[in-house]
């Protein structure tokens, strides 16, 4: 006996028009995923209204209360009912959906919030009285007079009370509050001229301020740098490189951190398009590609990058949450990010992050003894001139130490004949070598400790890369071309990047249907599983829109060659060799970190060293 299909009703299905309440609840499911989504929509409305101060109050992770107060232009009393209607907005007139200059433009946020929660809007425009309107579960009340000095207050209570099933998918109050904080911080980064205050009023009363960012003054980069220091942290600001570049109508600006200031996860990557925080796979892929040669796979760069362009060059109307964008020419935006960041990293030269020195000082500082009395020193601190005279009298410094110590001590190099003394150069003059691996150098205001193997490894690696760029990657022709069967779509993806693969010594050709023929492979890789490499490249193209598999393998070989060809740990170096290494580091880009993103040297200021000995 044949069984009936449970998905097919015996009666003919009837098409019916849903009522507005159901439509709004469906729309709310797309726009308002969680309390943080509601906060984002309301703050963006306040920014579009020209607010200079925005205050956000939340309770119980935003589940029971979200209140956003701004000093913007306000909403007229007669427009309040219209503001709660679907697809009613003051941002666009509907004639051009590609020329959007505001955060909001769909007119869905307020009616969606009113459909799933208890929403109250109190607003006042200049020259008129304040008014208030309420809507709960999609049922709107009449407009009433209210008391308000200026701007708008939007209060959302009992989010998702009208859709209780949605509440089961909410996370803990703490997790939702953290998501709201992250949302506010991202918007605060994009608007340094606006004061943001986030307050948790759970339990009633005044509550506590969990985040505050006052308005920043100065030009674009000064204000942005100060805001990033407040939001991301001062360590990021101290170790970030300024980025400012333009290509074909697209401008990229912001700050990107040094490779030695990397993170264990991609939690410090902030990307904005025309001021809008976005999470775009193409942009994050470009950021990863820019740091590709400086970080190991388990480390991630930190950056806050802003892309400004004509609104017609980017489509923001591709997702209800407006967190994804589509560029008309994504290659330009990607290339701009990669080239600008690599240029900035090259200009940074041998610089390493300041956190390296801070970590070193923390490791050197002895554990405090609680019962020990405060240290008292009777001697006066000598003047700088006296100290310099004493240093000259003590030269060559380490010579009088015996060979019984754990460190191998080398006579310092004679003073160079150039006008600038070696110790006045960035990495100073070599004064000794300890444990046959670490070079101790004296600078004008401190000291530098260099890992000789890591430093030389980077120098050799950069030379090998330069030679490869100048001479190209040698290709090795296969005696019998390897044929790989693929789908026609996968074959088209690979052939689109065939020229790029050829530059790295991998030559492929179409072989009819969906097959490709591998003619040549990079000689430096030796015997290689060409089919597996092609499939890896294809996986990267599908996932990220680009592939660095071949480049990664080639540079991994160069890195290993550099490692084996560099100065080994345990080798005693003469003073002139150590100084030559220091001078080459100063002249070589990226020499502040090894091939895996670890620092090659630590710099300690004299004031820091004196604090270790209680002289400060």
pLDDT tens digit sequence for 202-240: 988 888 999 999 999 989 999 999 999 999 988 898 888
- Give the confidence band of 567 by pLDDT, cuts at 50, 70, 90: low
Instruction: State residue 369's pLDDT score.
Output: 46
Cβ neighbors of 299 (< 8 A, separation 6 or more) are: 262, 263, 264, 597
Computed from CA positions of residues 94, 96, 102, 104, in that sequence, does the dihedral angle turn out positive or negative? positive
The CATH label, of 3.30.230.10, 3.40.50.20, 3.40.190.120, 1.10.357.10, for the domain at 220-347 is 3.30.230.10
Q: What mean pLDDT is predicted for residues 188-206? A: 92
Q: How far is CA 424 from the centre of its chain?
A: 35
Query: Between residues 129 and 168, which one has the greater pLDDT?
Result: 129
Q: Measure the CA–CA gap between 355 and 401, rounded to whole angstroms.
A: 32
Q: Measure the CA–CA gap between 204 and 59, rounded to whole angstroms.
A: 8
Tell me: domain 349-364+385-616, CATH 3.40.190.100, correct? no
Q: What mean pLDDT is predicted for residues 61-76? A: 94
- Give the confidence band of 356 by pLDDT, cuts at 50, 70, 90: low
DSSP H helices, 348-497, are 354-364, 384-394, 452-471, 488-496
Q: Measure the CA–CA gap between 234 and 222, rounded to whole angstroms.
A: 14
Domain boundaries, the chain: 20-92+99-208, 220-347, 349-364+385-616
Instruction: State residue 557's pLDDT score.
Output: 66
Q: Measure the CA–CA gap between 562 and 457, rounded to whole angstroms.
A: 5
For the ranges 79-93, 185-199, 450-464, the one whose mean pLDDT is highest: 185-199
What average pLDDT does the structure give for the chain? 79
pLDDT(449) > 80: yes
Instruction: State residue 568's pLDDT score.
Output: 65
Q: Measure the CA–CA gap between 239 and 241, rounded to whole angstroms.
A: 7
Which of 41-45, 314-318, 410-414, 531-535 has the least mean pLDDT?
410-414
pLDDT tens digit sequence for 468-502: 777 777 888 888 889 999 888 888 888 888 887 88
Instruction: State residue 393's pLDDT score.
Output: 41
pLDDT tens digit sequence for 297-335: 778 899 999 999 988 888 776 666 667 788 888 888 988
Instruction: State residue 399's pLDDT score.
Output: 35
Q: Measure the CA–CA gap between 375 and 581, rounded to whole angstroms.
A: 40
Q: What mean pLDDT is predicted for residues 93-100? A: 56
pLDDT(26) > 70: no
- Give the confidence band of 187 by pLDDT, cuts at 50, 70, 90: very high
DSSP 166-194: HHTT---HHHHHHHHHHHHHHHHHH-TTS
Instruction: State residue 315's pLDDT score.
Output: 79
- Give the confidence band of 361 by pLDDT, cuts at 50, 70, 90: low
pLDDT(154) > 90: yes
Which of 121-130, 138-147, 196-205, 516-525 has the least mean pLDDT?
516-525
Closest by CA to 317, choosing from 309, 326, 308, is 326
Query: Between residues 66 and 506, which one has the greater pLDDT?
Result: 66
Closest by CA to 527, choosing from 478, 561, 468, 570, is 478
Q: Measure the CA–CA gap between 518 and 498, rounded to whole angstroms.
A: 11
- Give the confidence band of 33 by pLDDT, cuts at 50, 70, 90: confident
pLDDT(105) > 60: no
Beta bridge partner(s), residue 450:
439, 601
Tell me the pairing of strands 269-273 and 303-308.
parallel
What is the per-residue burial (b if ≥16 Cβ within 10 Å, else e) of 228-253? bbbbbeebbbebbbebeeeeeebebb
For the ranges 57-61, 544-548, 582-586, 596-600, the one whose mean pLDDT is highest: 57-61
Q: Under CATH, what is the fold of the domain 20-92+99-208?
A: Heat Shock Protein 90 (3.30.565)
DSSP H helices, 472-574, are 488-496, 498-503, 530-544, 549-565
Instruction: State residue 120's pLDDT score.
Output: 95
pTM for the whole structure: 0.69
Instruction: State residue 216's pLDDT score.
Output: 94
Q: What mean pLDDT is predicted for residues 103-116? A: 74
In this prediction, what percent of the chain has a pLDDT beyond 90? Answer: 26
CB 255 within 8 A of CB 224: yes
Query: Between residues 393 and 150, which one has the greater pLDDT?
Result: 150
- Return the structure tokens found at 526: 């030796």
pLDDT(445) > 80: yes
Instruction: State residue 223's pLDDT score.
Output: 95
* Element spanning 287, H or E: helix 281-290
Q: What mean pLDDT is predicted for residues 351-365? A: 57
Q: Measure the CA–CA gap between 388 and 403, rounded to whole angstroms.
A: 27
Which of 101-115, 161-175, 504-518 has the least mean pLDDT?
101-115
């Amino acid at each position: 006996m044949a069984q009936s299909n449970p998905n097919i009703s015996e009666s003919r299905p009837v098409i019916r028009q849903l009522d507005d309440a159901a439509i709004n609840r469906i729309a709310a499911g797309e726009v308002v995923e969680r309390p943080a989504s509601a906060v984002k929509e309301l703050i963006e409305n306040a920014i579009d209204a020209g607010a200079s101060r925005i205050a956000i109050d939340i309770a119980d992770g935003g589940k029971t209360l979200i209140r956003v107060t701004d000093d913007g232009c306000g909403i007229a009393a007669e427009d309040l009912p219209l503001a709660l209607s679907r697809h009613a907005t003051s941002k666009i007139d509907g004639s051009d959906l590609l020329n959007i200059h505001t955060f909001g433009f769909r007119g869905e946020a307020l009616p969606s919030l009113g459909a799933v929660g208890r929403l109250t809007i109190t607003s006042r425009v200049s020259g008129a009285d304040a008014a208030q309107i309420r809507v709960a579960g999609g049922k709107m009340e009449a407009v009433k007079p209210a008391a308000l000095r200026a701007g708008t207050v939007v209060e959302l209570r009992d989010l998702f009370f009208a859709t209780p099933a949605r509440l089961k998918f909410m996370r803990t109050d703490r997790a939702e509050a953290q998501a709201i904080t992250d949302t506010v911080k991202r918007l605060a980064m994009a608007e340094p001229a606006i004061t943001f205050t986030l307050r948790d009023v759970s339990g009633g009363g005044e509550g506590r301020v969990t985040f505050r960012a006052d308005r920043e003054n100065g030009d674009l980069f000064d204000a942005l740098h100060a805001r990033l220091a407040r939001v991301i942290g001062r360590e990021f600001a101290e170790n970030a490189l300024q980025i400012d570049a333009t290509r074909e109508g697209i401008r990229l600006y912001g700050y990107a951190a040094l490779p030695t200031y990397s993170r264990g996860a991609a939690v410090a990557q902030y990307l904005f398009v025309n001021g809008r925080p976005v999470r775009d796979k193409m942009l994050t892929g470009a950021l990863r590609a820019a740091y590709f040669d400086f970080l190991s796979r388990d480390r991630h760069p930190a950056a806050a990058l802003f892309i400004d362009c004509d609104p017609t060059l980017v489509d923001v109307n591709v997702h209800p949450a407006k967190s994804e964008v589509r560029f008309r020419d994504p290659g330009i935006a990607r290339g701009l990010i990669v080239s600008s960041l690599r240029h900035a990293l090259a200009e940074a030269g041998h610089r390493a992050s300041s956190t390296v020195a801070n970590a070193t000082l923390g490791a050197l500082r002895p554990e405090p003894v609680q019962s020990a009395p405060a240290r008292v020193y009777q001697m006066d601190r000598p003047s700088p001139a006296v100290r310099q005279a004493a240093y000259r009298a003590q030269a060559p410094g380490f010579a009088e130490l015996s060979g019984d110590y754990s460190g191998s001590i080398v006579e310092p190099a004679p003073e160079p004949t150039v006008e600038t003394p070696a110790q006045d150069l960035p990495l100073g003059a070599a004064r000794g070598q300890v444990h046959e691996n670490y070079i101790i150098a004296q600078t004008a205001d401190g000291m530098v400790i260099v890992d000789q193997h890591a430093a030389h490894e980077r120098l050799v690696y950069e030379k090998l890369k330069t030679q490869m760029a100048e001479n190209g990657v040698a290709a090795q022709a296969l005696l019998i071309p390897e044929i790989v069967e693929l789908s026609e779509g996968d074959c088209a993806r690979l052939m689109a990047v065939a020229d790029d693969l050829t530059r790295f010594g991998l030559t492929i050709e179409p072989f009819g249907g969906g097959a490709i023929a591998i003619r040549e492979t990079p000689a430096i890789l030796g015997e290689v599983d060409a089919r597996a490499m092609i499939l890896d490249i294809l996986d990267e193209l599908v996932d990220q829109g680009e592939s660095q598999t071949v480049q990664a393998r080639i540079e991994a070989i160069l890195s290993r060659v550099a490692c084996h060809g560099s100065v080994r740990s345990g080798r005693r170096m003469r003073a002139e060799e150590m100084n030559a290494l220091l001078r080459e580091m100063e002249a070589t880009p990226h020499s502040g970190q090894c091939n895996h993103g670890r620092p090659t040297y630590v710099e300690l200021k004299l004031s820091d060293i004196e604090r270790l000995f209680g002289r400060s």
